[in-house]
Structure 1
């Protein structure tokens, strides 16, 4: 069977779905690996590296592939070129690209979405949302440190003492905890808040002070928070306002899978921050945690610079690609038997991640 690794076409996407170091994992399973010309260049992997690892290079590997690997969803014109019976693995947000999903379904293509891999212990090595959130969280802290025109750490010198920066992180999932840990390693004083009760201990474990508000917690499934109502959101903003105003840098990382990001910080809250303050909104791509943030741009609100994240994991394409590729290879290995892609739909990981082509679905085209 032939696996095709395609070049990403989205302008802001620099990752690649397979790195040279992992080609051998797939060839050992019995696959032939064909990489599209130049697919890994933005992630610092040359065609020659793939060839040395045992892959082939081709200008158009899609048409005769049994399995197509990507990071972003295929473009519709790419999906149309796949022959019936082909399988795709990559991110595939159904609500964002319904026309691509429809094309895959009507074309008899079986597709698996990496963001649908369930958050269970057995699937941790395939959890691309977590691996990419790790990269994004680190990037957020580095962006905040780079934009803030002062030191993160305490500095005691003969000329006097420079106090450390105060950083506030809202959201303590994988990205938030990595942002906290990175800001702490840089020497900042960090405070953090999350609506989940269990997060307080995790915040303390990476060296930050956990902010505890007199509000009900919002524990959800899979380690995510539940969506909050309007009244709770209003009270939360009111209670967080003094913490936001005191911060030199605010980093927001809260997300709800498949839904708009929760609005945590109003424009009025940002306007209370000191001159030179920095806001980094990781969730700007999905609506934003901060009112007025713009994905892929820096805007000024009051005296603060507000950086809106856009495809943030792709801004560190080397490590992001390595982690993502490992997730993909592990999922492919789970679905491989005797050198053939043979998904077991009794397996909850396989069933949950399938979008089109699940056995028994109407017309073989509906999601699992």
Structure 2
């Protein structure tokens, strides 16, 4: 059984790292890695070869690999090169890119979308969203701190005292909690909000203040935020108007599985913020939590608020992000394959298998 690892055409990550390649080879796999696939993650071809992989061309991966791995999905043209029966593992985000499933299905392959793995205790080691969200929350605060024309911490000098910056975090999931922890370590005053009231203790344990509106629909069985009523959203906006107006940095992390991200920050709220304030919207690829947000773009409003729409901030820590992703892939492969490295189709009713498998091979 041969695994092929693509060089990403967008972003800095790589699907496998040498230490994981060694573990896969020990299980009996052959591993092909595209030439310079690890370059943006500071991994040389020689590092992969030392681990036992063979360096290959991109076309060879399509022709020789049984299992293909990429962090982001291939282009439409390259999807057409996939062979019937191949297994392709990536982050397809089928709730956002709604036509991707049909395109993959036409190739008669097994396609597994790691971002669809449910958040359960047994799936923790394969949970790509949590792995990447933790990095994104950390980097979001550092990015905002770099853009903010102020200190984050209190400074007392002979020339006078500087008050600490105020950071407001929307969503207290993995990314939000990491953002809260990072902002507190940098000396900021931190407030947070989440529809899941059970996150209040977690926010407080990290030193943040939890703001809440009563009447929220609670989390789904898999731990994701639920879609809220318009009445709740209106009350939440009113409560947050003052919080946002008084904040120097706002970190947006709120998403709803299978739906467009809720617009929580209106243009009116942004227009009321202080000049030089910064918003980092990690939900931008799902529409964004801020009305101004555009994915992969930085918007500067008339009152000089910078709004960064970036749902791939984990790319800013490509070395660690690649390692975590590779570990997720390794654990997932071990779960869905048998000891003889064949796909375990007996798992088709398993929660992890059926949630992540977005297309199945149909044998004639």
Provide the TM-score with structure 1 as the length reference.
0.93
2:348 is the counterpart of 1:345 = yes
* Aligned twin of 2:127: 127
Match of 2:273 in 1: 273
Shift of residue 131, structure 1, vs aligned partner: 0.5
Aligned equivalents of 1:144 and 1:104: distance in 2?
Answer: 38
Q: Which runs of 5+ in 1 are unaligned?
A: none
- Supply the distance in 1 between the matched residues of 2:152 and 2:95 (Cα, whole angstroms): 40
Provide Cα deviations, 1:187-209, integer angstroms capped at 9, x if missing partner. 11101111111111111111111
State the alpha-carbon separation in 1 of the partners of residues 48 and 349 from structure 2.
34
SS of residue in 1 equivalent to 2:177: helix
Q: Offset at 1:171?
A: 0.7
| Correspondence for 1:287 | 287
TM-score by length of 2: 0.94
Runs of 4+ in 1 over 4 A off after TM superposition: 95-100
SS in 1 for 2:61: coil
SS at match of 1:352: helix
Q: Secondary structure at the match of 1:337?
A: coil
What does residue range 1-368 of structure 1 map to in structure 2 within 5 Å? 1-10=1-10, 13-59=11-57, 60-97=60-97, 100-301=100-301, 302-343=303-344, 344-357=347-360, 363=362
Q: Is the 8 A contact 1:233 1:264 kept in 2?
A: yes
Give the superposition deviation at 1:218.
3.4
Contact 1:5 1:17 in 2 (8 A): yes
Distance 1:57 1:311 in 2: 27
Please give the per-residue CA displacement for 1:250-271, whole angstroms capped at 9, x wherever unaligned: 1111011232111111110111
Shift of 1:102: 2.7
Where in structure 2 are there 5+ consecutive unaligned residues? Answer: none
Secondary structure of 2:222 counterpart:
helix
Between the two proteins, the alignment pairs up a number of residues equal to: 359
What is the alpha-carbon distance in structure 1 between the residues aligned to residue 115 and residue 311 of structure 2?
17
CA distance in 1, matches of 2:149, 2:21: 43
Q: Which moved more, 1:123-132 or 1:62-71?
A: 62-71
Q: Using the alignment, how far apart are the partners of 1:123 and 1:341 within structure 2? A: 20
1:215/1:241 CA distance change after superposition, 3 Å = farther
Cα offset for 1:346?
4.3
Could you give the per-residue CA deviations for residues 173-224 of structure 1, whole angstroms, max 9, x where no partner exists?
1011111111111111101111111111111111111112344343323111
Deviations 1:30-83 (A, max 9, x none): 100000111111111111110011100001322111111111112233222222
